[in-house]
Amino acid sequence: MSQTHAQKIIHVASDHAGFEHKVEIVKWLQELGHQVVDHGAKVMDKEDDFPDFISLAAMAVSEKPDSSCGIIFGGSGQGEAMVANRFAGVRATVYYGGNLQIISLSREHNDANILSIGARFVSIEETKDSIATWLAASMLTDQKYQRRNQKIEHITRRIRTQ
């Protein structure tokens, strides 16, 4: 199995809609002994724009995908994941509640390296549970999952050269 995210630098970011979740989760992750880099927002500002902060976290993960991962927060998590997925090597998945198995599968099958949380839909405790599940999971070594992820990376490279 590959390295779990629990051993990596965790890049976090949010806009105003995810700000309170981010503040709580950064503190919680640090208390657990994780190395966390907070890319903002640093203050609550209802007029801020999520791409400004999410892009910083996604860029950091893109630059060092083997030694880092990301957790990003927004209202739905959808727009945040869209921004993150623009960066080479980033595979952001969205969680806004429900069965935690989907979180494990995002790592095991798709090697997701950024978790985007829909803060308007999950409590802090649900967020902690989802993050703990995601950090503990790792990519499965089955050839079919490796092959599929290689195809995703091939598509990314092909698009970037057009």
Alpha-carbon distance of 19 to 6, in angstroms, equals 22
CATH fold label, 5-160: Ribose 5-phosphate Isomerase B; Chain: A, (3.40.1400)
Domain spans of the chain, in order of start: 5-160
**Distance, first Cα to last Cα, the chain:** 34
- Quick one: pLDDT at residue 4? 65
Confidence class of residue 5 from pLDDT cuts 50, 70 and 90? low
3-class secondary structure, 112: coil
Confidence class of residue 156 from pLDDT cuts 50, 70 and 90? confident
Mean pLDDT of 8-30: 98
The identity of residue 37, as a single letter, is V
What is the tens place of the pLDDT at every residue in 127-153?
A: 999 999 999 998 878 898 788 878 888
Q: Tell me the pLDDT of the chain averaged across its residues.
A: 93
What is the tens place of the pLDDT at every residue in 30-40?
A: 999 999 999 99
- Quick one: pLDDT at residue 1? 37
Alpha-carbon distance of 136 to 153, in angstroms, equals 24
Give the global pTM: 0.92
Catalytic residues: 80, 109
Tokens of 10: 């965790």
What is the tens place of the pLDDT at every residue in 62-116?
A: 999 889 999 999 999 999 999 999 999 999 999 999 999 999 999 999 999 999 9
